[in-house]
Amino acid sequence: MSPASSPSNVNRFHLTRILVVWLVLSLILTPLVYFVWGPNMPPGDMANNAKDQQFDNTVLSTVATPVVLFIWVYLGYALIFFRRKDASDEEDGPPIKGHLGFQVGWVGLTTVIVLSLFVFGTYELVGPNGAGTGSGSSPIWTPAGYSGVAKYNKLFQVQVIGQQWRWTFRYPAYQGVETTQLVIPEGVQIQFNTTSLDVIHSFWAYELGVKADAVPGVNNIAFAVAERPGTFQIRCAELCGPLHGAMSSVGVVVSPTAFNTWIAGQLVLHGEVIPLLPPYAPTYLPQSDGGLYDPGQDPLGPDLTLPSPAP
């Protein structure tokens, strides 16, 4: 900065000290964040999505570290050295109204950072893993084997049904059996079809890195590959009423063989209720408003509560 009133060496003096402190701190902390903290960042590495999210968290934190450090170092430096010595000092500071180079540099630098973050984020989003989690009924970036047409779709289908206030799960490949626990085979590309029977919920399988809103009348698709056996926590991430907080459950990732035995057991356990279930469909619109609408004038006619497939 160069107002005539101030000798530029004073500027250089302060600038060097600030930059040195900042540089040292950054050189120490930034690698620590990336290499030490990064691998331990949530949501862990149980599934490919989770890895993506962990990687994004790591990269963003790494980029953020020097930025935050600069502001903190600068503010701290100003507090110490740009402070008037004693209360009697009524003098004003140098009248610096701007510095074109500095302003352009600052805005330019932030722009570069932002643009690179955007490119990085978009790459991660369009990447092969479908890291976007809840991607609507016709996801743009899909794993191999996906097809919008059910019968050409090679992926392992699980339908997640939200209802006030619990999750249930349907396996279309197994007579459309509906279970109250989520069990998925390890190492298989899973396609979660999330939908809701009443209000908006959000299916959050934390360790799988899957979060997809369950919206009535919408089939919200998310993909994941669980890479090792274990349990993962399922929660509702969208306020859905008084028991929203209790709308949780524990999912399990098992080996494909163990899955087959499990699903066989489920077919026995829920066998007799399968005929009662509506045919498997992307969304269900239970033709009932609980009598909210004047029955005499409701276009949907009398109250039929059993879920029926969307037209």
Partner 1 sequence: MSQLDDTAGDQLVVDSDAHERKSVLGSYWTASRLFVAASTMLFGAGAFSYFYLHSLDNNSLWRAPGQRPSSFLSVPVLLLTVVASLVYVVVARRAERPGADGNDFRVAAGVASVMLVVAAMIQFWGMRRLGFFPGSSGYASVYVAVMPLFGVWLLIGAYWAEVLLARSLRVRWVLAPVGENADSHEAAAFAGSLNGSRLFIGFLGLLSVVLYVMFSVLK
Partner 2 sequence: MTIETPVGEKVSGGGTPDEPVTTSLPSYWTRPNVLTGVVGAVIGYSIGHWFGNYVAADNQQFQGNGQNDFALTLGYLVATLGWLAGLGVLNYPIAKMLGHRPDETFEEDPRLSRYFRYTLDHKVVGLQYLSAMLFYFFAAGLFALVIRSELLSPTSHLLAPDTYVEVVGEHGTLMMMMMTSAILGPFGNYLIPLMIGSRRMAFPRLEALSFWLTPAAFVVLLSGLFVGGFPTGWTGYAPLAVQAKEGQDAYLVAFGLMACSMILAGFNIVATVINYRAPGMTWTRVPLFVWGILVTSMLMVLAAPILVGATYMALMDRTVQTALFDVNHGGSSYLWQNLFWFFGHPEVYILALPGFGIALELLPVFARKPAFAYRTAVAGMVGVGVLSFFVWQHHLFDSGINPDMRPVVMFTTELISIPTGIIYLVAVGTLWRAKLRMTVPMLFIFGMLFNFLIGGISGVFLSDVPADGVAHGSFFVMAHFHYTIMGGYIFAFFAGIYYWLPKMMGRRLNDRLGKVHFWLMFVAFNSTFLPLFAVGQLGMPRRVFEYAQRLQALNVWVSISAFALGLSMLVFVFNFLKSTIIDDKVELVENPWQSRGLEWTVPSPPPRLNFPSIPIVTSGPYEYGTGAGPMAVLSVPASAGAEGEVLL
Partner 3 sequence: MTKAQKTIGVLIPLALLLAVVVWTFFYLIRWPPTVEASTRSAGVVDITAQTVGSIGTGNHPTWVSYLVRDSSGVWVHTTTLQVPANSTVHMTIYQFDSGSSLRNPVMNQVLGAPDATLDGKPYSLWTDTIGHTFTIPELGLSVPMPGISATAANPCSVAPCALSYDHHTVQFTFKTFGATVYTWQCFVPCGLGYLAGFGGPMSTFGYMNGVLKVVA
- Nearest to partner 1 of 173, 310 (CB atom): 310
- Give the range of 148-156, 168-176, 259-267, 285-293 binding partner 2 by CB under 8 A: 285-293
Q: Which does 114 bind (CB under 5 to 8 A by kind): partner 3, partner 2, partner 1, none?
A: partner 2
Give the nearer residue to partner 2 in terms of CB position, either 169 or 232. 232
- Binding partner of residue 125 among partner 2, partner 1, partner 3, none, CB cut-off 5 to 8 Å per kind: partner 2
Q: Is 161 in the site for partner 3 (CB under 8 A)?
A: yes
Q: Which residues in 287-306 contact partner 2 (CB under 8 A)?
A: 287, 289, 291-294, 296-297, 299-300
81-100: contacts with partner 1 (CB under 8 A)? 97-98
Cβ 197 to partner 3 shortest distance, Å: 5
- Interaction of residue 291 with partner 1, rule CB under 8 A: no
Q: Which does 107 bind (CB under 5 to 8 A by kind): partner 3, partner 1, partner 2, none?
A: partner 2
Bridge partner list, 191: 157, 223
Interface with partner 1 (CB under 8 A), residue total 11
Q: Report CA 276 to chain centroid distance, whole Å.
A: 35
Q: Does 229 bind partner 2 (CB under 8 A)?
A: no
Interatomic CA distance for residues 88 and 78, integer angstroms: 19
Decide: 240 and 165 in contact? Cβ < 8 Å: yes
Query: Is residue 285 near partner 1 by the rule CB under 8 A?
Result: yes
What does the alpha-carbon distance between residue 22 and residue 75 come to, in Å, rounded to a whole number? 12
- The CA-atom distances, in angstroms, between 23 and each of 15, 17, 38, 104, 108 are 12, 10, 21, 21, 20
CA distance 146 to 138: 11
- In SS3 terms, 150-204 reads as HHHCCCEEEEEEEECCEEEEEECCCCCEEECCCEEECCCEEEEEEEECCCCEEEE
Q: Which window, 114-122, 143-151, 154-162, 257-265, contacts partner 2 (CB under 8 A)?
A: 114-122
Q: Please name which of 61, 56, 55 lies closest in space to residue 39, comparing C-alpha atoms.
A: 55
Distance CA 186, CA 64 (A): 35
Touching partner 2, residues 42-81 (CB under 8 A): 42-43, 49, 52-53, 56-57, 60, 64, 67-68, 71-72, 74-75, 78-79
What is the C-alpha to C-alpha distance for residues 192 and 220, in angstroms, rounded to an integer? 8
Residue from 278, 300, 309, 310 touching partner 3 (CB under 8 A): that is 278
Two tokens, residue 30: 């930034």
Asked whether position 301 contacts partner 1 by CB under 8 A, the answer is no
- Site residues for partner 3 per CB under 8 A: 161, 163-166, 168, 178, 180-181, 197-199, 241-243, 246, 248-249, 270, 272-273, 276-278, 286, 288-292, 303-307
